[in-house]
Chain A
Amino acid sequence: MDLLHELLTGAPARIDAIVDLESLSALESELLGKKSLIASTRRGLGQLPPDERPKVGAQVHEAQRRLEDLLAARRELLERMAEDRLLAGDRVDVTLEGYEPSVGRHHLLTQTVDEVVDIFAGLGYRVASGPEVELAWYNFDALNTPPTHPARLESDTLYVEYGEEPDEMLLRTHTSPMQARYMEQHEPPVYVVVPGRTFRADALDATHSPVFYQIEGLAVDEHITFGDLKGTLAHFAREFFGPDRTIRLLPNFFPFTEPSAEMHVSCFACDGSGCRVCSGSGWIELMGCGMVDPNVLEAVGYDPQHISGFAFGMGAERIAMVRHGINHIRHFYENDVRVLRQFT
Chain B
Amino acid sequence: MKISLRWLKEYVDIPTDDPLEIESVFASLGHEVEGYEVLQAPFTKVIVGKVLEIEKHPHADRLRFCRVDLGKGDPQEVVCGAWNFEVGDVVPVSVPGAVLAGGLEVGVRSIRGVTSHGMICSARELGLGDDHEGIMVLDPAVPIGVEFTEYVPFPDVVFDVSITPNRPDAMSVIGLAREFAAYYGTEVRLPDAAPATVDRPSAIEVTIEDTKGCPRYVGRQIDNVKIGPSPFWMQLRLRASDVRPINNVVDITNYVLLELGQPLHAFDLDEVADEKIVVRRAHAGESIRTLDGVERDLDVLDLMICDGGGVVAFAGIMGGEESEVTDSTTRVMIEAAHFHAPSVMFSSKRHGLRTEASARFERGVDPNLPALAAARAARLMVDLAGGEALADVKDNYPSVVTPWQVDLEAGEVERILGIPFSRAVIADLLTRLHLDVEGDSPIKVTVPTNRPDLTRPIDLIEEVARLYGYDRFPETLPSGPAGGLSADQRRDRRLREIMVGIGLHEAQTMSFLGQSELDGLNLPLDDPRRAAIRVRNPLREEEAYLRTTLLPNLLKAAQYNVSHGMPDVALFEVGRVFLTEPDPGDARIPHQPVRLGYVAVGRTGQGGLHSSPRQTDVYTATGLARALLAGLGIVCDLRQATPGGFHPGRAAEVFVGGERVGAVGELHPAVGRAFGLEGRVAAGELDLAQLISGRWQLDPPSTYPRVEFDLAFVVDESTAASALVQAVAGAAGDWLEDVEVFDEFRGSSIGDGRKSVAMRLVFRAPDHTLTNEELAPHREQIIAAVTDATGGQLRGV
Known A162-B590, A250-B28, A294-B458; judge A106-B496 contact (CB<8 A).
yes
The winner among B482, B484, B575, B611 for most chain A CB atoms within 10 A is B484
Is there a chain B Cβ closer than 8 Å to A199's Cβ?
yes
Is there a chain A Cβ closer than 8 Å to B481's Cβ?
yes
Q: A202: nearest residue on chain B (CB-CB)?
A: B539
Is there a chain A Cβ closer than 8 Å to B62's Cβ?
no
A132 to B610, CA, bound (A): 46
Cross-chain contact of A189 among B27, B30, B459, B481 (Cβ < 8 A): B481
Whether B499 contacts A227 by the Cβ 8 Å rule is no
Known A121-B484, A258-B459; judge A133-B415 contact (CB<8 A).
no
Whether B480 contacts A211 by the Cβ 8 Å rule is no
Q: Chain B residues near A234 (CB, 8 Å)? A: 475
A336 to B571, CA, bound (A): 10
Known A110-B496, A253-B164, A334-B557; judge A161-B418 contact (CB<8 A).
no
Q: Chain A residues near B572 (CB, 8 Å)? A: 104
Is there a chain A Cβ closer than 8 Å to B569's Cβ?
yes
A333 to B458, CA, bound (A): 41
Whether B610 contacts A337 by the Cβ 8 Å rule is no
Q: B558: nearest residue on chain A (CB-CB)?
A: A335
Is there a chain B Cβ closer than 8 Å to A201's Cβ?
yes
Q: Chain A 94-118, CB within 8 Å of chain B: the 1/0 string?
A: 0011111111111101100010010
Is there a chain A Cβ closer than 8 Å to B378's Cβ?
no
Using C-beta atoms within 8 Å of the partner chain, give the interface range for chain B: 35 or more
Pick from A5-13, A24-32, A79-87, A123-131 the stretch touching chain B. Answer: A123-131
Q: Chain A residues near B510 (CB, 8 Å)? A: 210-211, 333
A106 to B498, CA, bound (A): 10
A99 to B576, CA, bound (A): 36
A338 to B538, CA, bound (A): 30
Is there a chain B Cβ closer than 8 Å to A182's Cβ?
no
Q: Chain A residues near B503 (CB, 8 Å)? A: 101-104
Is there a chain A Cβ closer than 8 Å to B473's Cβ?
yes
Known A131-B589, A148-B345, A340-B506; judge A227-B606 contact (CB<8 A).
no
Whether A251 contacts B415 by the Cβ 8 Å rule is no
Q: Chain B 622-661, CB within 8 Å of chain A: the 1/0 string?
A: 0000000000000000000000000000000000000000
Known A132-B576, A234-B475; judge A159-B606 contact (CB<8 A).
no
The winner among A117, A293, A333, A337 for most chain B CB atoms within 10 A is A337
Whether A110 contacts B508 by the Cβ 8 Å rule is yes
Pick from B93-101, B258-266, B460-468, B674-682 the stretch touching chain A. Answer: B460-468
Is there a chain A Cβ closer than 8 Å to B471's Cβ?
yes
Whether A248 contacts B419 by the Cβ 8 Å rule is no
Cross-chain contact of A160 among B417, B533, B569 (Cβ < 8 A): B533
Q: Chain B residues near A135 (CB, 8 Å)? A: 588-589
Q: Chain A residues near B486 (CB, 8 Å)? A: 126-127
Pick from A52-60, A62-70, A216-224 the stretch touching chain B. Answer: A216-224
Known A132-B592, A291-B416; judge A230-B475 contact (CB<8 A).
yes
Q: Chain A residues near B539 (CB, 8 Å)? A: 158, 201-203, 210
- Report how many residues on chain A are interfacial, defined by Cβ distance under 8 Å: 85
Known A124-B481, A226-B473; judge A160-B536 contact (CB<8 A).
yes
Q: Chain A residues near B456 (CB, 8 Å)? A: 294
Is there a chain A Cβ closer than 8 Å to B534's Cβ?
yes
Q: Chain B residues near A158 (CB, 8 Å)? A: 535-539
Cross-chain contact of A106 among B29, B483, B500 (Cβ < 8 A): B500
Whether B576 contacts A232 by the Cβ 8 Å rule is no
Is there a chain B Cβ closer than 8 Å to A134's Cβ?
yes
Q: Chain A residues near B244 (CB, 8 Å)? A: none
A249 to B506, CA, bound (A): 35
Is there a chain B Cβ closer than 8 Å to A171's Cβ?
yes
Q: Would you mind naming 19 contact pairs between A and B with Cβ atoms under 8 Å apart?
A: A97-B608, A104-B503, A104-B506, A104-B570, A104-B572, A126-B483, A160-B535, A162-B533, A197-B576, A201-B537, A201-B539, A219-B478, A227-B475, A230-B470, A230-B476, A250-B32, A251-B462, A258-B458, A337-B569
Extra A-B contacts (5), CB below 8 Å, given A96-B609, A127-B484, A252-B30: A121-B485, A162-B580, A219-B480, A234-B475, A253-B167
Binding site for B on A (CB under 8 A): 96-107, 109-110, 114, 117, 120-121, 123-127, 131-135, 148, 154, 158-163, 169, 171, 189, 191-192, 197, 199, 201-203, 210-211, 219, 221, 223-228, 230-232, 234-235, 248-253, 258-262, 291, 293-294, 308, 332-338, 340-341
